[in-house]
């Protein structure tokens, strides 16, 4: 169980020190279900991620965006996601993620973001 913001917060992963510069990012990604620890409960943050691991994170992110219809994404986030989808196309296809569908989804989201930007005061 995680108690964010409290003095009694349980460590997310035992190998991610409380004073590590990426601790909050790791915690945020884990809380959203985008990253998981290894079976031994560690994060292994000092080790390089494989292309398969990065592809799995991108696939999870895209699935969450599709479920939520992702009206929260900014243009910059959509552009970065599009780059990641292109870079990991082969690995994403291995996970059953249809990159063409994902590209269409990001294009629709990009249009929605543009519309929202025009409406803002």
- Tens-binned pLDDT, residue by residue, of the chain (121 aa): 233 333 334 568 999 999 999 899 899 888 888 888 899 999 999 998 888 888 888 888 877 776 765 555 667 777 787 788 888 888 777 766 666 677 777 777 777 777 777 775 5
Provide the domain limits for residue 105. 51-119
Statement to judge: residues 69 and 108 lie in one domain: yes
* One domain, residues 57 and 114: yes
Residue 31 counted as domain residue: yes
Burial bucket for residue 24 (CB in 10 Å: 0-12, 13-18, 19+): exposed
The structure's pTM equals 0.51
Is 1 a member of any domain?
no
Do residues 72 and 107 both lie within one domain? yes
Q: What is the rounded distance in angstroms from the CA atom of residue 103 to the CA atom of residue 97?
A: 11
Pair 113, 66 in one domain:
yes
Q: Tokens for 94, please give them.
A: 């291995």
CB 88, CB 61: distance < 8 Å: no
Q: Looking at the structure, do residues 24 and 64 belong to the same domain, yes or no?
A: no
Q: What letter does residue 74 receive in the DSSP assignment?
A: -
Domain tally for the chain? 2
Same domain for 114 and 58? yes
């Amino acid at each position: 169980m995680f108690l964010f913001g409290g003095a009694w917060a349980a460590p997310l992963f035992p190998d991610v020190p409380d004073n590590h510069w990426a601790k909050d990012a790791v915690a945020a990604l884990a809380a959203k279900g985008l990253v998981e620890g290894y079976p031994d409960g560690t994060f292994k943050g000092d080790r390089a991620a494989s292309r398969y691991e990065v592809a799995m994170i991108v696939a999870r992110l895209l699935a969450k965006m599709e479920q939520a219809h992702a009206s929260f994404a900014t243009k910059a986030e959509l552009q970065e996601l599009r780059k990641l989808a292109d870079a990991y196309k082969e690995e994403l296809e291995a996970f059953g993620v249809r990159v063409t569908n994902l590209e269409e989804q990001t294009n629709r989201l990009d249009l929605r973001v543009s519309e929202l930007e025009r409406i803002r005061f």
